[in-house]
Structure 1
Amino acid sequence: MTNTVTLASEHDAADLKTYLERADRLGCEHVWLVGAGGALAAYVAVLTPQGLLDVAPTVLGLRIFERVETDHLDMVVQVRAMLDRLARNELAIALPVGQAGIAWTGVAPPRGNWAPVGSMSEIELQLTAKSGIEEVAKANGLGTNIVTAVREEVWRRPLNVLGSDGMSVPAGVAFAAFGLGFIGTAEAHVTSSAAWKRISTQRGHILVK
């Protein structure tokens, strides 16, 4: 396994830096880097269950970047450690020490067999995210347990998938898409594979289970 990843262009490096800066602001501590061929997939966990009895969804962000290497890569590293390296503005990045035992990486989203199920308005996703953020913010100062309960209730609310047969996704996908900068003004495409759903825009993907 390589200890270095070389991005194909300054554009890829700048995009990865911006993506991880946004993930860091959302509280994402780790990024899961998966390389196959000339593609580098970077997953971050925006929302995850906090225990065995927690029914909160797993909501991941995903961006794909182009790299020079073609060997296999599968590592989980700290977001801030990657940002430290990206700050040097070099295309060849010496990877930080890998992190083991990160729970959300235990079950990987499918890499194939995604079937189209419908679409979602990116504007509606943005409005949902902003109203949810405001609702959670109003609970600040009321105690940790109350804030946690409000956050879970807000981001579990179902959002309908247009054109599907009654399918919905949790509002947490809107929070993740907005916070990671994936939302524009078009339609987001929704696909499903096994227990996962994927909401895709021109700027990135949100995966939810």
Structure 2
Amino acid sequence: MRAGAPTLELEGPGEAADLAAFLGRLLRYDRAAAVRLQAHGGALAVFGRPPSFDVLAVRAARLARPADLDVTVSAGELLDGIEDAAPAVRVPQAVTGPPWAGLLPPRGGWHRVEGVPDAGAMRGVVAAAVAEFRARDEELGEAGRTRQARDRIGADIWSRTLAGTELPLRAVHAAQSLGFLRPGVPVALFAAGAWLRLRTPYGEIALRGATGGLGALQVTPA
């Protein structure tokens, strides 16, 4: 951490703990992960991209003091900069961000999508999909269990959409894997143009439509 690094004061130890947990989960998927930070007024938004899911994961934190910041940094260094006792987070030096970090979902124009299953139903769908993947993987046999074959099974299962919506199951799986989709929590789905956003009290998953992923984003940089 460089001398004189800016520090963001968090509103309570719970904010620090939740932010640390989010960063830790991202780093499990990518030890070199980068995150984009946007602080406006009393809110901090942390954007990351777990590569296994091809979605954006967003964790918000409340700030004790207003701040204005927009920077892409190392997730590992940011995690190291969290001070639980303060509570606060020291912002590391900016890094050259990956392509996704320059293209975020729109800030406005969202409308709520009705008819979304509750958290329990979503968790059940994920469990069933995981069980199907394991069964089909087992059917491949030792000789047929290649990376390509397993990827085809995964693409087939996780590209399916959640009943009654255009949300792909990989987004629901990401929400559960990152600790956002906990039993009994309220969930909501929003849409803005081609973008979808699954929101829970613990974080959000955003992506461009059911099949667009993040490789062909066409939005104005935030």
Shorter-chain TM-score range: 0.7 to 0.9
Return closer, same or farther for 1:145/1:3 CA change in 2, 3 Å cut-off.
farther
- Structure 2 counterpart SS, 1:159: coil
Instruction: Return closer, same or farther for 1:61/1:101 CA change in 2, 3 Å cut-off.
Output: closer
Cα offsets for 1:138-185 (capped at 9, x unmatched): 649823333333333322111124xxxxx4210011111101111222
Query: Where does residue 218 of structure 2 map in the other structure?
Result: none
SS of equivalent residue, structure 1 residue 169: coil
Residues 1:7 and 2:18 aligned together: no
Where do 5+ consecutive residues of structure 1 fail to align?
A: 49-56, 162-166
Q: CA deviation at 1:25?
A: 2.7
Runs (4 or more) in structure 1 with deviation over 6 Å come to none
Farther off after superposition, 104-113 or 81-90: 81-90
Report the equivalent of 1:41. Answer: 45
SS of aligned partner of 1:153: helix
Partner of 1:198: 197
Aligned equivalent of 1:102: 98
Q: Which has the higher strand share?
A: 1
The answer for the alignment partner of 1:208 in structure 2 is 207
Kindly state the Cα deviation for residue 205 of structure 1 after the two structures are TM-superposed.
1.6
Q: Deviations over 1:60-119 (max 9, x none)?
A: 221211113423211222222222222765423222222224121232111122111212
25-34 or 139-148: bigger deviation: 139-148
> Secondary structure at 1:14's aligned position in 2?
helix
Instruction: Tell me how many residue pairs correspond in the alignment.
Output: 195
Amino acid at match of 1:34: Q
User: Is the Cα–Cα contact under 8 Å of residues 29 and 51 in structure 2 kept in the other structure?
Assistant: no
Say whether the 8 Å CA contact 1:47–1:172 is kept in structure 2: no
CA contact (8 A) 1:31 1:79 kept: yes
**C-alpha contact (below 8 Å) 1:120/1:190 kept by paired residues:** no
Gaps of 5+ in 2: 209-222
Contact 2:16 2:84 in 1 (8 A): no
User: 1:54 — aligned with what?
Assistant: none
Percent identical among aligned pairs is 26
Q: Secondary structure at the match of 2:94?
A: coil
Distance in structure 1 (CA, Å) of the matches to 2:100 and 2:151: 19
TM-score between the two structures when normalised by the length of structure 2: 0.75
Secondary structure of the structure 2 residue equivalent to 1:172: helix
Calculate the aligned-residue CA RMSD, in Å: 2.6
How big is each residue's C-alpha offset from its partner over 1:13-63, in whole Å with a ceiling of 9 and x where there is no partner? Answer: 011111222222344722221111110011121357xxxxxxxx8422212
From the CA coordinates, give the structure whose radius of gyration is larger. 2
Give the TM-score taking structure 1 as reference length.
0.80
